[in-house]
Amino acid sequence: MYEFNAEKTMKECVDWIRCFFKDNGPSSPAVVGISGGKDSTVTAAICVEALGQDRVIGVLMPNGEQKDISDSLTVVNHLGIRHYVINIAGAVSSIQQEISAANLPLTEQAKINLPPRIRMSTLYAVSQCHNGRVANTCNLSEDWVGYSTRYGDSVGDFSPLSHLTVTEVKQIGRLLGVPSHLIDKVPSDGLCGRTDEDNLGFTYAALDKYIREGIIDDPDTKALIDKNHEQNLFKLKLMPSFESGIPTAIG
């Protein structure tokens, strides 16, 4: 039976982050978008463990009024990291208006995915102002079924949690002393008013057990997970590029 060693994995991840920054920005800070959920919180916490408080920057990006903004502020205050609050509502509204002015009706999915893509642009703008490195905050469970926005929350310069399930991320968060109400907070993308599990049609607990042990009770849930995984594999791959076969003179 599979057993997760949270302490060992946490220490290995801390070492991995230190090695990444040694090779890709010895004095650069980690820049983390702080949503107030467990993934961004644990990402920021493990970056603090690896780099220290002075080299982690939190960016809070409400889209207008964010009901749980207090959770995001709790995170940065608990970790003692500097932070910026940048409201993206104006940018989202402006782009929506310009698209409408071009006589293109926005689909519901396009409306949902626009804010996370603007948030990622904002993160990179902040990062460049500090010569920073943007942290990807996705976990394995989300990535497995494609529950992320391409060129939104699915990207970054380094990814501490992308090979850890939701269950494992929570365990590491507890080791790092993250407040329990943030770890156990019902996961939601904050975009469509529904929880992650409502959108997915299954629980993370069932998904995690299937990923790690290959065990799942409901055949319909198995079929849905497998379908989502297969349809969204392209999100985890490098962008396809045409191989011309023409030789280069260098390299």
The string of pLDDT tens digits covering residues 61-119 is: 999 998 889 999 999 999 999 999 999 999 999 999 999 999 999 999 999 999 999 99
Give the pLDDT confidence score for residue 53 in this predicted structure: 98
pTM metric for this prediction: 0.94
Is 70 exceeded by the pLDDT of residue 164? yes
pLDDT of residue 68: 87
Is the CATH code 3.90.550.10 the one for domain 6-186? no
Mean pLDDT estimate for the chain: 94
Task: Please state the φ and ψ torsions of residue 101, each to the nearest 5 degrees.
Answer: -65, -25
Confidence of residue 236 (pLDDT cuts 50, 70, 90): confident
pLDDT digits (tens, 9 = 90+) for 188-235: 655 556 788 888 999 999 999 999 999 999 999 999 999 999 999 999
Residues 6+ apart with CB under 8 A from 120: 33, 134, 151, 152, 153, 155
Interval 124-132 mean pLDDT: 98
According to the model, what pLDDT value does residue 186 have? 81
